[in-house]
Amino acid sequence: VWTGGSGLNVLDKALWFSLKPFWQTQDLVNQRTSMMLDLADIFDVPYSEVPAAVLLARTRQDSAHKPFRRIYNFTGDLVMSKTYAEYSDYAVRVADLEGTRRAALLVATLRSYGIAKKNVPQHLRQSALVDPYSSDPFAWEAETASVIFHGLESNERARQEIAY
């Protein structure tokens, strides 16, 4: 939590001086705790329900922690309006690890059995290791000889390629 530390220029110090009366540390801690518990409840679901949890977290983010909704701790509310999205994105990143793990395990297993690249698509369709969200088989990209997992992140990390 930023508290107007040293190393700031004159404008930053003046801004902090004017905002400090509206900075309530305990209220911010309480808000953050409530947010963390809320997100823990939202994402405490089976993998098949994580896509719906992501939508619910985004909806909550849009309705919760609105800045300038009150004078008391409005600077803390500004901080919280950004924080909710960051923690929600982190939960998605952690959930996506399971899909990446399964895809990597599948590639390692097929390689250990000496499966030829041309036969990988057939083995992907038959494998018990599947996309954790949809239970569909992982995709195969012949051009890169990679097993593909499409996660839920909304950036370049959403698509994971595990080279065969």
Place of tokens 């690890």: 97
Residue entry with tokens 């041309």:
118
Give the pLDDT score at 1: 47
- Residue partners of 47: CB distance under 8 A and separation at least 6: 95, 98, 132, 133
Tens-place pLDDT, residues 31-82? 889 888 999 999 999 999 999 999 998 888 776 656 677 778 878 887 777 7
- Strand, helix or coil at 72? coil
The helix (H) or strand (E) run that includes residue 109 is helix 74-112
Q: Give Cβ neighbours of residue 75 (< 8 Å, ≥ 6 apart).
A: 19, 22, 23
By mean pLDDT, which of 22-36, 46-60, 98-112, 144-158 is the weakest?
Answer: 22-36
Token pair for residue 40? 């823990």
Query: Residues 11, 17, 22, CA angle at the centre, nearest 5°?
Result: 130
In terms of pTM, does the model score above 0.85?
Answer: no
Report phi then psi at 57, rounded to 5: -65, -40
- Give the span between the Cα atoms of 37 and 116, in whole angstroms: 47
